[in-house]
C-alpha cells in the first residue's frame, strides 16, 4: 500500500450495501448469530490493503468481535444471498447462503467494489437443517487455498481473516468453530440465475443481471440495445470461465465440487470445499471422496465448465431475445465458442510451461506426450514442470533434475530430446528461457499434506504454521531455499489423500 494512501479503520468502512438495497427475491436481510468468545487466528495484510484497511490497527485493537459477526459495523446491512444449483448434475432446488452472511460491499480508493462476507456466521433462511457454522479445518483450507491461487495469478475470492471459537460444531466428529472473512468483487453465481429461472421468476432475471453488469462491466453497460448488452455479458461470462478452467489445468488444481452454485459469473474460483493440487499426475484424480462417479476429476473440469455454462445460459435465455426459439439459437451459438476459447487459453499456458515462445504445429502433441509419461510414472505435476526449467537446451547436457522425477528415465530422455529439438527453432539462451519458465511453473503449491499440517497445529492452538505457509505461498515462483522442504514430495501417509464435503 502506498504510504500516501489513506487507510481506514476496520470499524468505519464506507458501506454501500447494494445487496440489501436490492432485497427480495435476491437477498434476504440477516444478522449474524453471536458466537462464544471469538479470538483471532489469522489476518491477511494483502487483502486488508485491497480494502484500504489499516492492518496494524485492526490487529492492535482486535478484529475478532467484528469479523466473527458479534459486532456488526455501523453502516453495514448484512444479507444472505438466495440461489439454487445443479449438484453433481442434478437440480437441487433452492440452496442459498446457508452459513454465509455478507456484511455489505465497500468501494476502495481505486474505485474497486468488494463484498465482505462472513462464512460460518450462523443460520440464515437458507440453512435448511444445518447449523450455519463452519469448522476450523475447512476455514484454514479456504484461507490458504484462495490465497495460494491468488498468488499464482488465478482469479479467486480472497480471505481477509480467520476468527476462531471453542463453540462446538458437530460433523463426523465434534470440532471447533471458525469464521472466515471472504472478500470478492461479487459472490453472484450461475445458480443465482438458475433459482429465478426454475421458479419461473423471469421478470427478476434482468434486475440481477443489470446489477452485475452495472457494477462490474461498465463497457458492456454502455451498450444501448438491451438484448445486445445481455449477449455481450454472456459472451464475457463464457470467456472468463474458459480462462479460469485453463488456469486450473495449468497448475494441476482440482476444484472438487464444480456444481453450478459454485460457479462465479465473474470467473472467480469460488467455494473451497474438497479442492486439491495434484501431487503425482493422474488425469482421473478425484480429490473429493463424495464424488463417487468421478464427475469432477481433473480431466473432466473443462467439459464440466461447458456443462455448467449450459445451465447458466438456459437460465438467462429470456434476456437474449424476445422469441424463445431465437433465444435458444443465440445461446447455443454463444456456448459453441467455449471449446475454442478454452483450447486456446490452455495451449497458451502449456507452451509457457514448456518455455516455448511462439506457436508451432505439434506443440499440443508435445505437451500431451509429456503428460502421458507423467501419468504412466506418477511423476509429480508441480516438481516436473519446475525441474524442466532447469534443463539446458544443449543435447549434451544432463537432463537432471527433470529426468529424476520419472521411473522410466529412458522415456523421459526420449521426450527431452524432442523438446530440445523444438527449442532449436529459437535463438533464446538457457538463462532467459529458464527465467520465463520460473515465472510460470511454481515451486510451491498448497499440497494437501502441508494444509493438513497447518490444520493440526491450529487445532492444538498454534497458528504459526498458517502464517508461515501463507508467507511461502505468497511467492510461489521464488526459490526460497530456506523453505525447500515445503516443495518436497508428500510423505507416504499423504499420498492419495482425498477430502469430504463436510465443513
What amino acid positions are annotated as catalytic residues?
Answer: 261
Residue 158 phi/psi, 5-degree rounding, is: -120, 170
Nearest CA among 250, 269, 460 for reference residue 346: 250
Has 377 been labeled as part of a binding site? no
Q: How far is CA 37 from the centre of its chain?
A: 30
Has 145 been labeled as part of a binding site? no
Has 262 been labeled as part of a binding site? yes
DSSP 405: G
Q: By the 8 A CB rule, do 496 and 455 touch? A: no
How many CA atoms does the CB half-sphere of 115 hold within 13 Å? 23
Has 56 been labeled as part of a binding site? no
Which grid cell is 388?
Answer: 524442466
Strands 39-43 and 84-87 come out as: unpaired
Has 182 been labeled as part of a binding site? yes
Rounded to whole angstroms, how far apart are CA atoms 157 and 134? 17
Burial class of residue 63 in the structure, from the number of CB atoms within 10 Å of its CB (0-12 exposed, 13-18 middle, 19+ buried): buried
Rounded to whole angstroms, how far apart are CA atoms 427 and 417? 17
Query: Could you tell me which residues come within 8 angstroms of residue 260 by beta carbon, excluding any fewer than 6 positions away?
Result: 85, 86, 189, 190, 191, 194, 308, 311, 312
Partnered with residue 104 across adjacent β-strands are 116
Has 132 been labeled as part of a binding site? yes
Rounded to whole angstroms, how far apart are CA atoms 143 and 170? 21
Has 96 been labeled as part of a binding site? yes
Has 420 been labeled as part of a binding site? no
Binding residues for Mg(2+), as ranges, are: 262, 271
Binding residues, as ranges, are: 96, 98-99, 119, 131-132, 182, 189, 262, 271
Amino acid at each position: 500500500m502506498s504510504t500516501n494512501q489513506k487507510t481506514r479503520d476496520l470499524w468505519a468502512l464506507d458501506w454501500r450495501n447494494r445487496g440489501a438495497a436490492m432485497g427480495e427475491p435476491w437477498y434476504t436481510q440477516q444478522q449474524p448469530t453471536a458466537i462464544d468468545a471469538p479470538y483471532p487466528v489469522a489476518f491477511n495484510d494483502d487483502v486488508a490493503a485491497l480494502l484500504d484497511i489499516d492492518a496494524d490497527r485492526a490487529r492492535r485493537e482486535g478484529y475478532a468481535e467484528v469479523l466473527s459477526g458479534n459486532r456488526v459495523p455501523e453502516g453495514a446491512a448484512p444479507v444472505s444471498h438466495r440461489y439454487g444449483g445443479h449438484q453433481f448434475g442434478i437440480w437441487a432446488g433452492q440452496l442459498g447462503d446457508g452459513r454465509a452472511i455478507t456484511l455489505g460491499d465497500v468501494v476502495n480508493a481505486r474505485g474497486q467494489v468488494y463484498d465482505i462476507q462472513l462464512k460460518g456466521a450462523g443460520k440464515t433462511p437458507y440453512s435448511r437443517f444445518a447449523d450455519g457454522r463452519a469448522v476450523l479445518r475447512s476455514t484454514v483450507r479456504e484461507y490458504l487455498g484462495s490465497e495460494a491461487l491468488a498468488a499464482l495469478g488465478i482469479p479467486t475470492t480472497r480471505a481477509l481473516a480467520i476468527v476462531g471459537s471453542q463453540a462446538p460444531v458437530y460433523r463426523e466428529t465434534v470440532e471447533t468453530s471458525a469464521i472466515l472473512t471472504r472478500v470478492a468483487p461479487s459472490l453472484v453465481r450461475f445458480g443465482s440465475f438458475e433459482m429465478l429461472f426454475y421458479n419461473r421468476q423471469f421478470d427478476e432475471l434482468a434486475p440481477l443481471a443489470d446489477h452485475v453488469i452495472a457494477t462490474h462491466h461498465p463497457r458492456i453497460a454502455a451498450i444501448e440495445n438491451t438484448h445486445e448488452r445481455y449477449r455481450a455479458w454472456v459472451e464475457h461470462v463464457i470467456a472468463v470461465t474458459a480462462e479460469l478452467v485453463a488456469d486450473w489445468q495449468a497448475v494441476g488444481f482440482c476444484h472438487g465440487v464444480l456444481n453450478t452454485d459454485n460457479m462465479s459469473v465473474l470467473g472467480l474460483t469460488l467455494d473451497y470445499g474438497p479442492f486439491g493440487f495434484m501431487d503425482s499426475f493422474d488425469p482421473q484424480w478425484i480429490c473429493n471422496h463424495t464424488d463417487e462417479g468421478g464427475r469432477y476429476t481433473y480431466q473432466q473440469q473443462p467439459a464440466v465448465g461447458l456443462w455448467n455454462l449450459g445451465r447458466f445460459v438456459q437460465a438467462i435465455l429470456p434476456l437474449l431475445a424476445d422469441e424463445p426459439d431465437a433465444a435458444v439459437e443465440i445461446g447455443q451459438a454463444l456456448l459453441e465458442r467455449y471449446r475454442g476459447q478454452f483450447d486456446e487459453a490452455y495451449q497458451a499456458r502449456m507452451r509457457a510451461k514448456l518455455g516455448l515462445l511462439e506457436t508451432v504445429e505439434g506443440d499440443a502433441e508435445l505437451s500431451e506426450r509429456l503428460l502421458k509419461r507423467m501419468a504412466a510414472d506418477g511423476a509429480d505435476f508441480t516438481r516436473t514442470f519446475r525441474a524442466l526449467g532447469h534443463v539446458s537446451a544443449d543435447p549434451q547436457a544432463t537432463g537432471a533434475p527433470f529426468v529424476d522425477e520419472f521411473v522410466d528415465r529412458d522415456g523421459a530422455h526420449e521426450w527431452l530430446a524432442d523438446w530440445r529439438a523444438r527449442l532449436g527453432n529459437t535463438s533464446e539462451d538457457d538463462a532467459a528461457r529458464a527465467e520465463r519458465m520460473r515465472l510460470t511453473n511454481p515451486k510451491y503449491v498448497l499440497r494437501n499434506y502441508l494444509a493438513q499440517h497447518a490444520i493440526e497445529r491450529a487445532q492444538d492452538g498454534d497458528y504459526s504454521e498458517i502464517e508461515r505457509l501463507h508467507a511461502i505461498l505468497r511467492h510461489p515462483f521464488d526459490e526460497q531455499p530456506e523453505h525447500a522442504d515445503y516443495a518436497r514430495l508428500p510423505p507416504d501417509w499423504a499420498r492419495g489423500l482425498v477430502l469430504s464435503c463436510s465443513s
